[in-house]
Amino acid sequence: MIRVVLPAHLRALAHVDGEVQLEVTGPVTQRSVLEALEARYPMLRGTIRDHTTQQRRPWLRFFACQEDLSHEPPDAPLPEAVATGTEPYLVVGAIAGG
């Protein structure tokens, strides 16, 4: 079970409270986690990754295990602690606006 923490405005959009728990088949990577997330919550398509390029939206970051994974290749394996559900995968909104 993969645990995903979304920023508040995306939790509201997806109508969820707290963490999201996902089953991911195959290798646990950023791409596979985000695809599972978007399959469960289609309203999130385009809000985390660009529809066409699949690039991370610039004002969002991906963290896990106290590391910034935003610039890691999307098909690189996520840390074991994320794959086992010990640690969550965090989608974080940039602090912006002064």
13 vs 16, beta carbon nearer another protein? 13
Instruction: List the x/- string, 9-28, binding to another protein by CB under 8 A.
Output: xx-xx---------------
Give the binding range for another protein (CB under 8 A) out of 22-30, 48-56, 64-72, 79-87: 48-56
Work out how close the CB of 89 gets to another protein at its nearest, in angstroms, rounded to a whole number: 17
32 vs 41, beta carbon nearer another protein? 41
Residue 90 binds to another protein (criterion: CB under 8 A): no
Number of residues engaging another protein in binding (CB under 8 A): 21
C-alpha to C-alpha distance for 44 and 36, rounded to whole angstroms:
11
The answer to whether residues 37 and 55 touch, using CB atoms and an 8 Å cutoff, is no
Strand residue runs (E) in the chain: 2-5, 20-22, 60-64, 67-68, 89-93
Number of CB atoms found within 10 A of residue 83's CB: 18
